[in-house]
Structure 1
Amino acid sequence: MTFRGDGPLDTGGVSGRGSGRGRVAIGGGVGLVVVVIAALVFGINPADILGGAGDYSTDGVGSGGSDSEIDQQIQSCTIEKANTDTVCRIVATTNSLNKVWPGLVSGYQRPQTVIFAGSVATDGCGSATSAVGPFYCPADQTAYFDPTFFDTLQQQLGGSNGPLAQEYVVAHEFGHHVQHLLGADAQARRMGSKGAKSGSVRLELQADCYAGVWANRADDGPDAMLEPITKDQIADVITTAKAIGDDRLSGSNSDGWTHGSSTQRVRWFTIGYESGDPQTCDTFATDNL
């Protein structure tokens, strides 16, 4: 259990989409995941990098389901369900994030959240499948999640299926929204999309740090949505952060890195978690990544 209290969740900014299985612009395994996510974060249609739908099969990817089915599940979510149901956990985490960030960022505007099955079309970042993992599209200010990714994260990438580890993934994508509001994504584009000290790596590590800031504050005070976070739950987050480092996903050659190493991802989440202050997350002002 991570969420406390009972009653309904705010589902106003969350919607469902489900196009099932198919052939779209991306796919092809873990090696391409980091490339495609970087493209989406930078507001680029993945097809422009990977060559179009005809070259990359995604048959067998995704869980099926229709918009209405996912929407019905979203609308049925309660705080209690968020402790056992992945879709409701995503919704509850967005609620918590939208409580924390307005107190930290002046003029904070809530992003939209889309929970999809199989594949999804964005408004400005092309099409994506569950193969790319969760992502944020700056063009439509929307965070996208296919819940089946969490199975892939545990079973294929070696991450944790612990609740807080899943919530960390959601918080990371909301971190990209905060960056968009503050102009960090534009700064990252000027610094390049690949390499150990590229704008993309700095952007991703800062989003990890912002996820840590949220975790620091999500259980703070009588109105907090999360139960007090435990050391074991933080250990689950660390396991996941290690599993999705560039060195684990694409090898030790840092020339192609887009997200940072396992060690770096853990370090910057920890910086945010220990400080609870987004000012400590300025990955653009240091070369000590």
Structure 2
Amino acid sequence: MTFNQGARLDPSQAEDQRGRSGMGRGGKVGLGLGGGIVVLIGALLGINPEILSSILGDTSTQPAIEQTGDSALESCLTGQDANERLDCRILGTANSLNSFWPSYLAERGIDYSAPKTVIFQGSVNTACGQASSAVGPFYCPGDNKAYFDPDFFSQLETQFGSSGGPLAQEYVVAHEFGHHVQDLLGTIGKAQQDPQGAQSAAVRTELQADCYAGIWMRYASSNPAPGSSEPFLIPLTQKDLNDALSAASSVGDDRIQEAATGRSNPESWTHGSSKQRQQWLYTGYQKADLAACDTFAVPSV
């Protein structure tokens, strides 16, 4: 979806940690969109890291986004900036999500606290441990932050075959915020209780986050921005929807595994197949209801 040009962005909702790195505090990286599964598969099957770099892209050689002052995000002020710059689009999408979820959840008796959005490059320290860009975007329950390396979004298109439309990128942000909603609802821990398999709790957790992203997509263009009668985003088109579904498909476990190893192993899935991810994203968009996103209540996802 395209941003309304005059929408006012709020840079205070994000941290710009590009250019900062170091050793983490240990632990496991949080829940993410799915890029990290490639690294996991490589470790299990003994793939040469040089082969993996051709799949993931070598983020160490990709150009950084030019920064001005202490944070490039300080110059992300309007919807026009979000339409022109990827880091501003990540910020603007976070602003939209933080505008939508409080009222939606309040109607259901649930309090919403906004997570912090962190934009990094290369590697980052988190309460869940140190993460590299190869992990992909992720949410860390330990510090209630959603982490994004802008380089991932070009990899989503070039390495994973997603379309490059704005909603494909915004879906990624909305998915990680879906994990934050799960954190608020107390369901996020189910993934670790049953961590692998096509019908596992881990897969159901990820598909539910996709479904929550779909709910936001349904309302994003009608929910006014704070202090304004105008939403952050203009109404989505069929092309926008196709872009989001393309992104969901591109990070399916089966598709990523086949790209990395030439075969798919459902017993090792942690995020769901391409078909499952599209299905639950569209369910959220179509039904626009938390109950319809209860992936744990259905016998098969």
- In structure 2, how many angstroms separate the alpha carbons of the residues matched to 1:71 and 1:237? 33
Q: What is the SS of the residue equivalent to 1:15?
A: strand
Asked whether the equivalents of residues 59 and 151 of structure 2 are also in contact (C-alpha less than 8 Å), the reply is: no
TM-superposed CA distance for 1:11, in Å, is 1.4
TM-superposed CA distance for 1:187, in Å, is 2.7
- In structure 2, how many angstroms separate the alpha carbons of the residues matched to 1:112 and 1:264? 28
Q: Which runs of 4+ in 1 moved over 3 A?
A: 19-26, 55-60, 62-71
Query: Is 192-201 or 163-172 further displaced after alignment?
Result: 192-201
Asked whether the equivalents of residues 21 and 61 of structure 1 are also in contact (C-alpha less than 8 Å), the reply is: no
Asked whether the equivalents of residues 18 and 64 of structure 1 are also in contact (C-alpha less than 8 Å), the reply is: no
Tell me if 1:178 matches 2:176. no
- In structure 1, how many angstroms separate the alpha carbons of the residues matched to 2:94 and 2:21? 26
Tell me if 1:111 matches 2:115. yes
Q: Scaled by the length of structure 1, what TM-score is found? A: 0.84
- In structure 1, how many angstroms separate the alpha carbons of the residues matched to 2:150 and 2:93? 13
1:159 aligned to which of 162, 170, 178: 162
Cross-structure match for 2:247: 240
Asked whether the equivalents of residues 66 and 72 of structure 2 are also in contact (C-alpha less than 8 Å), the reply is: no
- In structure 1, how many angstroms separate the alpha carbons of the residues matched to 2:190 and 2:152? 29
Asked whether the equivalents of residues 101 and 112 of structure 2 are also in contact (C-alpha less than 8 Å), the reply is: yes
Q: 1:70 to 1:13 in 2, by over 3 A?
A: farther
Cross-structure match for 2:209: 207
Which amino acid letter does the alignment assign opposite residue 244 of structure 2? V
Larger RCO (alpha carbons 8 Å, 6+ apart): 2
TM-superposed CA distance for 1:183, in Å, is 0.7
Give CA deviations for 1:142-191 in whole Å, capped at 9, x if unaligned.
0000000011110011012110110000000000000011011123333x
Query: Is 104-113 or 64-73 further displaced after alignment?
Result: 64-73
Query: Is 126-135 or 62-71 further displaced after alignment?
Result: 62-71
Query: Is 171-180 or 64-73 further displaced after alignment?
Result: 64-73
- In structure 1, how many angstroms separate the alpha carbons of the residues matched to 2:149 and 2:36? 14
Q: 1:258 to 1:70 in 2, by over 3 A?
A: farther
Write out aligned runs for 1:4-19 (5 A).
4-6=4-6, 8-19=8-19
Q: 1:56 to 1:142 in 2, by over 3 A?
A: farther
TM-superposed CA distance for 1:5, in Å, is 4.0
2:297 aligned to which of 269, 276, 285: 285
Cross-structure match for 1:92: 92
Asked whether the equivalents of residues 7 and 231 of structure 2 are also in contact (C-alpha less than 8 Å), the reply is: no
Q: What is the SS of the residue equivalent to 2:233?
A: coil
What count of residue pairs does the alignment treat as equivalent? 270
List runs of 5+ in structure 1 lacking aligned partners. 38-49
Which amino acid letter does the alignment assign opposite residue 267 of structure 2? D
Which amino acid letter does the alignment assign opposite residue 111 of structure 1? P
Query: Is 273-282 or 203-212 further displaced after alignment?
Result: 273-282
1:61 aligned to which of 56, 59, 62: 59
TM-superposed CA distance for 1:21, in Å, is 8.5
- In structure 1, how many angstroms separate the alpha carbons of the residues matched to 2:99 and 2:143? 21
Give CA deviations for 1:47-95 in whole Å, capped at 9, x if unaligned.
xxx79xxx97989424475997585210100221101110000000001
Cross-structure match for 1:260: 272
Q: What is the SS of the residue equivalent to 2:113?
A: coil
Q: 1:90 to 1:265 in 2, by over 3 A?
A: same
Which amino acid letter does the alignment assign opposite residue 248 of structure 2? A
Which amino acid letter does the alignment assign opposite residue 112 of structure 1? K
Q: 1:275 to 1:82 in 2, by over 3 A?
A: same
Asked whether the equivalents of residues 22 and 125 of structure 2 are also in contact (C-alpha less than 8 Å), the reply is: no
Identity of aligned residues (%): 47
